[in-house]
Amino acid sequence: MLSNQQKNQHLMWRAGFGPAAGQLKQLQTLSPQQLFGALQKASAKQPVFLDAADDYLKGLVKGIQEEGMRQMLSAEERRAVQQQTRQAIRSLNLLWLDEMVSSNAQLREKMALFWHGHFASRNLNVFYQQQLLDVIRQHALGSFRDLLHGVSKTAAMIFFLNAQQNRKGHPNENFAREVMELFTLGRGHYTENDVKEAARAFTGWSANLKGEFVFRRFQHDAGAKTVLKRSGNLTGEEVLDLLLDQGQTARFITEKIYRFFVNESVDPAKVDALAVRFYQSDYNIGQLLQDIFTADWFYDEKNIGKRIKSPV
């Protein structure tokens, strides 16, 4: 039978990045439920915005935004922007890594790491990356509904998935396909026609140079659409809510979280029960984690030491 300390060490490695040396006595005296409560409390504050861009880069980008014409930059200025941006992205990664290591908000940062992988994107604009990371960290333990809507409207995701190219009469299906396959339902739970119709609903979505979401209504297809057997003049926001209406979305997200935090070998009955609770809570991420980390089965020996630690 596992001791309290062994259970709490397991909890700290899964719900955070491992126990600090000064926590060893605490691990002996607190129950896992009490320790998880402490982790929740420590992660309750809103995260600070991680800003890795220096004044020089901000000045360059502000000039581009005001002129609205990147092509006015000389070749040397373009190289300077690219070099400064690459350095800023490295600095952003280090800032977040330091937050993971030194912050008391271990639960939030661990969950943010999960969501950062779930909503994977590539973008060389550090300001867009900072915005995406901030949205993820703000909502990491809150509502998956708010998180999905927020991430979907970030400049990083819009430009990564070519949503700004999605126009009435010339739909681009990249975003619609990814949001169904990777962010909500999972492969095999939608049709090609669902993707095509959803893409029409997302027409007109874009972002400006400052990274602010922009809806270009003259580029939006306002005609009737049918997505997942629901018909009407669906908007992009309504399609996201329609995806969240599907119990399969709760099942897909719950299984992925189970694999990340509990065990790669899924227990279907446990995932099903967790998914029902997750769905009924309107996608309360914090409650789902509480259901997992306070369950007796989480501390079964078969779930301890079975996951390869992240390189982080």
User: What SS3 class is residue 232?
Assistant: strand
- pLDDT at residue 224, rounded to an integer: 97
Strand partners, 206: 214
Give the predicted TM-score (pTM) of the model: 0.93
Same domain, residue pair 63 and 92: yes
Question: How does residue 123 score in pLDDT terms, banded at 50, 70 and 90?
Answer: confident
Is 69 found in the same domain as 26? no
Classify residue 21: in a domain, yes or no.
yes
**Band of residue 233 on the pLDDT scale cut at 50, 70, 90:** very high
Residues 33, 64, single domain; the answer is no
Does residue 37 sit in the same domain as residue 94? no
Q: Specify if 78 maps to a domain.
A: yes
* Spatial CB neighbours of 221, under 8 Å, sequence gap ≥ 6: 168, 169, 171, 200, 201, 203, 204
Q: What are the beta bridge partners of residue 205?
A: 215
- Give yes or no: residues 26 and 62 share one domain: no
Same domain, 22 and 81: no
Where do we find the tokens 């990356």? 129
Segment 19-35, tens digit of pLDDT: 987 777 788 889 999 99
% pLDDT > 70, the chain: 93
- Give the per-residue pLDDT at 76: 78
Query: What residue numbers bound the domain in which 129 lies?
Result: 55-104+113-141
What is the rounded CA–CA span in Å between residue 201 and residue 234? Answer: 6
Same domain, yes or no: 119 and 71: yes
Judgement on whether residues 76 and 25 belong to the same structural domain of the protein: no
Do 20 and 85 sit in the same domain of this protein?
A: no
Asked whether residue 12 is domain-assigned, the answer is yes
Q: Number of structural domains, the chain?
A: 2
Residues 122, 75: one domain? yes
Residue 108 in contact with residue 47, Cβ under 8 Å? yes
> Does residue 99 sit in the same domain as residue 21?
no
Taking only the tens place, the pLDDT of each residue in 55-92 is 767 776 666 655 555 556 677 777 877 888 889 999 99
Question: Are 30 and 65 found together in one domain?
Answer: no
In terms of DSSP H, where are the helices of 103-164? 106-118, 126-139, 144-152, 155-160
Task: Decide which of 115 and 301 is more confident.
Answer: 115
Whether the pLDDT of residue 280 is over 70: the answer is: yes
**Section 225-251 average pLDDT:** 98
